[in-house]
C-alpha cells in the first residue's frame, strides 16, 4: 500500500493569500502546501481518498486523474470537504461512496443540498453517504478500515487506521482508546500546525509528544501553517523517525502485522 500526500497545508494553504512572509515567498517547493488531503493506493491498485478539500481538482490533475473507489472524510470543515463536487466527473455514472460520521453526513446535506435532490437538476454528483462509527471496522477497496475518534478542539472528528498506517488530521487530542488502537503502528500521519500553541490544532511540541506515546516506526507531519517556518530549518528540530510531509510525497507502507 502507498500513500501520496496531495496536500499538507492548513486551511489557508501556503502561500497564504496576501502574505509576504519568508515561508510564503519560499522558492523551496516543499514549502508550498495545498489544503490537506491524501490518496491511498492499495496493493490491488485501487484508490481511496482521505478528505476532498477545495484544492482537490488541482491535486487530482497532478497526481491521479483517474477513478477513486471511495472517500474517507475526517470532518466537515471547508478545507476538508470543499472539493467534493469535483468528484462528479471522476465517478460518473456510478457515483461516489463517501464515508463519514453522522454529523458530517448531516452537514454535507446542508452544504450541498442539490446533490441530494435530483428533481430539479440532472448531472449532479451522485454522492452515496455511508455513516460510520468509531472503532467499527468496514471494508473499502479490499482493505479494512478502522474509524478512530479524535478531538479537534471541542469537535469530535475521525482519524483512520488503514492496515499498518494511521492518518490523523486536525487533532488537538487523541483519546486513550485511539492511542491504544494504533500503538506501535508502522506509519503514523498526524497534524502539526506551528511552533506556538493553538486552541484547535496540535502545535509541534504536542504532536511530537503524541508521536512518542504511539511509538510508530515512522511519523509524517501534515496540516502545517506558514508559521511553522521554512521546512529546511524546522526539519532540523525533528527526531529521526519524524518528517514533515510535503505535497506530492509518496511513501510505501509495509504490510500489516495483524497484531490486533
Q: Which residues bind Zn ion (CB under 5 A)?
A: 11, 16, 19, 21, 24, 77, 79, 170, 226
Q: Which is nearer to Zn ion, 33 or 143 (CB)?
A: 33
**Minimum separation from the CB atom of position 131 to Zn ion (A):** 19
Q: How far is the CB of 196 from Zn ion (least distance, A)?
A: 14
Q: How far is the CB of 82 from Zn ion (least distance, A)?
A: 10
Burial class (CB in 10 A: 0-12, 13-18, 19+), 231: buried
Closer residue to Zn ion in complex, CB, 198/215: 198
The cell for 167 is 492518518
Q: What is the rounded (10 degree) CA torsion for 75, 76, 80, 82?
A: 160
What three-state secondary structure class fits 79? helix
Q: For 84, which DSSP code?
A: G
Smallest distance from Zn ion to CB 119, Å = 32
Q: Which is nearer to Zn ion, 28 or 43 (CB)?
A: 28
Cα separation of 255 and 260, whole Å?
Answer: 14
Q: What angle do CA 54, 56, 58 make, to 5 degrees?
A: 110
CB of 108 to Zn ion, least distance (A): 15
Looking at the Cβ atoms of 143 and 167, the one nearer to Zn ion is: 167
**Residue 157 CB, nearest approach to Zn ion (Å):** 7
Please write down the HEC assignment for all residues of 114-125.
HHHCCCCCCCCC
- When the beta carbons of 47 and 77 are compared against Zn ion, the nearer one is 77
Between 143 and 171, CB nearer to Zn ion: 171
| Cβ burial 62-101 (10 Å sphere, 16+ → b, else e) | eebeeebbbbbbbbbbebbbbbbbbbbebbeeeebbbbbb
Amino acid at each position: 500500500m502507498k500513500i501520496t500526500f496531495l496536500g499538507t497545508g492548513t486551511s489557508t494553504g501556503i502561500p497564504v493569500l496576501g502574505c509576504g512572509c519568508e515561508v510564503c515567498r519560499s522558492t523551496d517547493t516543499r514549502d508550498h502546501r495545498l489544503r490537506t488531503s491524501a490518496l491511498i493506493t492499495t496493493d490491488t491498485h485501487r484508490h481511496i481518498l482521505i478528505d476532498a478539500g477545495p484544492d482537490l481538482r488541482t491535486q487530482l490533475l497532478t497526481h491521479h486523474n483517474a477513478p477513486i473507489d471511495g472517500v474517507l472524510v475526517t470532518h466537515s470543515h471547508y478545507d476538508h470537504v470543499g472539493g467534493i463536487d469535483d468528484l462528479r466527473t471522476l465517478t460518473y455514472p456510478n457515483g461516489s461512496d463517501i464515508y463519514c460520521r453522522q454529523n458530517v453526513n448531516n452537514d454535507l446535506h446542508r452544504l450541498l443540498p442539490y446533490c441530494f435532490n435530483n428533481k430539479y437538476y440532472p448531472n449532479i454528483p451522485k454522492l452515496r453517504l455511508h455513516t460510520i462509527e468509531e472503532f467499527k471496522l468496514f471494508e473499502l477497496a479490499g482493505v479494512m478500515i478502522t474509524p478512530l475518534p479524535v478531538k479537534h478542539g471541542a469537535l469530535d472528528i475521525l482519524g483512520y487506521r488503514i492496515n499498518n498506517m494511521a492518518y490523523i488530521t486536525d487533532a488537538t487530542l487523541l483519546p486513550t482508546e485511539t492511542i491504544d488502537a494504533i500503538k506501535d503502528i508502522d506509519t503514523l500521519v498526524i497534524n502539526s500546525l506551528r511552533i506556538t500553541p493553538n486552541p484547535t490544532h496540535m502545535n509541534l511540541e504536542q504532536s511530537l509528544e503524541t508521536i512518542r506515546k504511539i511509538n510508530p516506526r515512522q511519523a509524517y507531519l501534515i496540516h502545517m501553517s506558514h508559521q511553522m517556518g521554512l521546512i529546511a530549518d524546522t526539519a532540523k528540530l525533528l527526531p529521526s523517525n519524524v518528517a514533515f510531509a510535503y505535497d506530492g510525497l509518496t511513501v510505501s507502507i509495509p504490510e500489516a502485522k495483524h497484531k490486533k
